[in-house]
Structure 1
Amino acid sequence: MKYVVVLADGMADEQLDALGGMTPLEYAKTPYIDALAPYSEIGIVSTIPEGCAKGSDTANLSVLGYDPKRYYFGRSPLEALSMGVTLQESDVTFRTNVVTLSEVEGAYEDKIILDHSCDEISTEEAKVLIEAVEAALGDEARKFYPGISYRHLLVWDKGSTKVKLTPPHDILEQCIGAYKPEGDHAEEIWELMKKSYDILKDHPINQARKAKGLKPANSIWIWGEGIKPQLPQFQAKYGISGAVISAVDLIKGIGIGAGMTSIDVEGATGNVHTNYKGKADAAIKCLLEDGQDFVYIHLEGPDECGHRNEHENKVLAISQIDQKIIGPIVKALEENGEVFRLMVLPDHATPVRLRTHTSEPVPYMIYDSTQKDEVDQLKCYSERYAKRTGIHYEKGHELMEHFIM
């Protein structure tokens, strides 16, 4: 048996007037999902336990079968694993975004956060900016590491997780002064962010971006604190080998921490325009040539579109996932005579109206190629239908055990 999880980050949403009262998932053209749904198990799953952060770190741990209440170490140390950064027991890590702040005159705390991703800045540009921040603000205790696009890392020796920090995508179009850090080292963290603005606002990279009509990456934003993670190994837990395919350091890090293979795909961007074909081809090779039993394909596009309030692009991302990921993988497995189980789901909802994550249960669909006797043509994969089935995994981390037979 081969196992495939297609994780459409943030795909679940609300019914939108702009889409005729449908959700983006209902509105999107998904012929391959539609063909499989009548033969599939459809229900809802709670991926974010009560009291846990409404993030992709919490939710993806749940989907992969790890109880976040037991195995949550923060998102940034998982990203550190993906980046190849060796952590010591005394290290505390922080996600460090480059963000776009308003550039009107006035105090730093009066600025508005305009974009958490700086128009999805390129990795090459962001690397230069983070290196400038490291040169000016890094020291023996604190070191900045460049990551992918807007997502970077701060490692703080003998830092503290006893601090309240706010994800930048949760406060878009709001004044940052209302979200200053609280707790241990709060003033130091704020000063790092404040000083970064002076370093970055007139940097040649940002001058060039503004000349092209792109948003500048004129400040860092520190959040997502965590400590060195220790996850049970996926193969020991489930008895099968596995791999993850993602453009996002967080997902790569979860996979690496769980002893899975992390597969890089050229042109994978983490947005609506990612290299879908490359990801599908990598998954097929992983299963049919490399001998892996399980592959976890993470697509970030729907989530980014939710944060950016782009319902049309969210619909497009979902359609692309269906037609360029699910379709080719199912076809390849069938043509090769493989028996397989396919699970499609989001990790959490990212409603375009709210532009941030929510914690309500999300719809899942499990298709088993060996069970085609019972068919219900009225079945469909959507938020509304999934709620009506009465199937609800209230402990999200238990769904993976159900999926892997």
Structure 2
Amino acid sequence: MKYLLILGDGMADEPIPELGGKTPLEVAHKPNMDRIARDGKCGMMSTVPDSQEPGSDVANMSILGYDPAKYYTSRGALEAISMGVPFGPNDLAYRCNFVTIEKGKMKDFSAGHISSTEGKELFASLSERLKDFDVKLYPGVSYRNVLMLPSGKGSVTKAPHDIVAEVIDPYLPVGEDADVLHRYMVISYDVFANHPINKARVAAGKNPANMIWPWSGGAKPAMPAFSEMFGKKGAVISAVDLLFGIARCAGMEIVRVPGATGYLDTDYMGKAKAAVATLKGDVDFVYMHVEAPDEAGHLGSVEEKIKAIERLDEAVGYILDNFDGCVMLMPDHPTPIAKKTHTRDAVPFAVLGLGGKDSVSVYTEKEVAAKGEYGSVQSTDLLKIIFSQK
């Protein structure tokens, strides 16, 4: 038996008034997702422990079977590992967003989804200004970067996507690293203010990347290999460093897909084809992660979230037509349009290919919660349950 888990990041939602009290999953045309639910078995899954923030890092790690309370250190650390950043025993890695600050408020947590090329140039200018400081900057994909403190002590930080439209002062870092992080943030504001990249972005009607925002800093995690835990060779398909970081820590193969962007315009079908092709080799389990529904949720765009679900469904159709094995479908957490951020509510999952079916007829939050035969499942137990079935 081979297994393919399709993860629609942030795909679950809450009833939306403008949709007549329905969710995007209830409104979207998604015959292939509905087929998985109708012909398989479903359940509701809790992915975030009460003691942790409802982040994609914690949720995806737990779905892969790793208890976040035991193995999670920070998002910054996972992304640094994915990027191949040198990681010493006393180093702390912080995720570092390009953001747009306007009148003291967080206007845009992604600086208009700035391009990787623009971001690299901005980071080069900032690194030159900070060359005499005990800090190292590593540009990543789009607005997602890493700030490494060689002698970091730790700080309490806030994810910028959680404070859009809020005054930033109450959410600045606090703790032992706070003073140096504040200093770098102020310096970045000065360096970026009249930078040619930002002048060009403003002239084009785009949000400028006028400051860095360090958050979720931590030390290098130590995790057992996925193959040791489950006796199966695994692979991860994604477009974001977070998932690749988890994969590296878990000793899983990383599959990069040309055209996969981690945004609404990602190559959904390219990921589906890569997943099917990978499973034709010696890989037993593929984790196919699609970021787009989450990005739409953070934007608060009902239209884009429905579109992302429908485009993912087309890719699901290709998988169902070309893969003869166990197919799992789920979000990692809800990213409700109304809240524009993650919540810890349970999410619906569906499993096809292990025999039997329940009475679920469509893949929606309400239908699965009411009729799913798996009932309520903890995410860290999911793969144990699935792999134990014949």
What TM-score comes out, normalization by structure 1 length? 0.93
Q: 1:257 aligns with which of 241, 249, 259?
A: 249
Q: 2:381 — aligned with what?
A: 398
Q: CA RMSD in A?
A: 1.4
Q: 1:152 — aligned with what?
A: 145
Are 2:329 and 2:350, in contact at CA under 8 Å, matched by a contact in 1? yes
Distance in 2 (CA, whole Å) between partners of 1:227 and 1:386 is: 38
Identity of aligned residues (%): 42
Q: 1:353 aligns with which of 338, 362, 370?
A: 338
Are 2:269 and 2:314, in contact at CA under 8 Å, matched by a contact in 1? no
Q: 1:367 aligns with which of 352, 356, 369?
A: 352
Question: What per-residue deviation string (whole Å, max 9, x for no partner) do you get for residues 227-251 of structure 1?
Answer: 1111110011111111101110000
Distance in 2 (CA, whole Å) between partners of 1:393 and 1:228 is: 32
Q: 1:343 — aligned with what?
A: 328
Q: 1:214 — aligned with what?
A: 206
Q: 1:329 — aligned with what?
A: 319
Are 2:35 and 2:362, in contact at CA under 8 Å, matched by a contact in 1? no
Q: Between 188-197 and 132-141, report the one with greater CA deviation.
A: 132-141
Q: 1:296 — aligned with what?
A: 287
* Number of residue pairs matched by the alignment: 387
Are 1:74 and 1:225, in contact at CA under 8 Å, matched by a contact in 2? yes
Distance in 1 (CA, whole Å) between partners of 2:126 and 2:172 is: 20
Query: What amino acid maps onto 1:203 in structure 2?
Result: H
Distance in 2 (CA, whole Å) between partners of 1:385 and 1:257 is: 36
Q: Where does structure 1 lack aligned partners over 5 or more consecutive residues?
A: 105-110
Distance in 2 (CA, whole Å) between partners of 1:55 and 1:167 is: 9
Q: 1:76 — aligned with what?
A: 76
Are 1:393 and 1:399, in contact at CA under 8 Å, matched by a contact in 2? no
Question: What per-residue deviation string (whole Å, max 9, x for no partner) do you get for residues 170-229 of structure 1?
Answer: 100111112121111212211211110110121111111111111111100010111111
> In the TM superposition, what is the alpha-carbon distance from 1:151 to its structure 2 partner?
0.3
Query: What amino acid maps onto 1:231 in structure 2?
Result: M
> In the TM superposition, what is the alpha-carbon distance from 1:385 to its structure 2 partner?
1.5
Q: 1:196 aligns with which of 151, 171, 188?
A: 188
Query: What amino acid maps onto 1:82 in structure 2?
Result: S
Q: 1:17 — aligned with what?
A: 17
What TM-score comes out, normalization by structure 2 length? 0.96
1:147 aligned counterpart, secondary structure: coil
Question: What per-residue deviation string (whole Å, max 9, x for no partner) do you get for residues 105-131 of structure 1?
Answer: xxxxxx111111112111111111112
The answer to whether structure 1 residue 34 and structure 2 residue 34 are counterparts is yes
Question: What per-residue deviation string (whole Å, max 9, x for no partner) do you get for residues 56-98 of structure 1?
Answer: 1100011101111111111111111110112111101100000
Q: 1:113 — aligned with what?
A: 106
Are 2:63 and 2:380, in contact at CA under 8 Å, matched by a contact in 1? yes
Distance in 1 (CA, whole Å) between partners of 2:125 and 2:253 is: 32
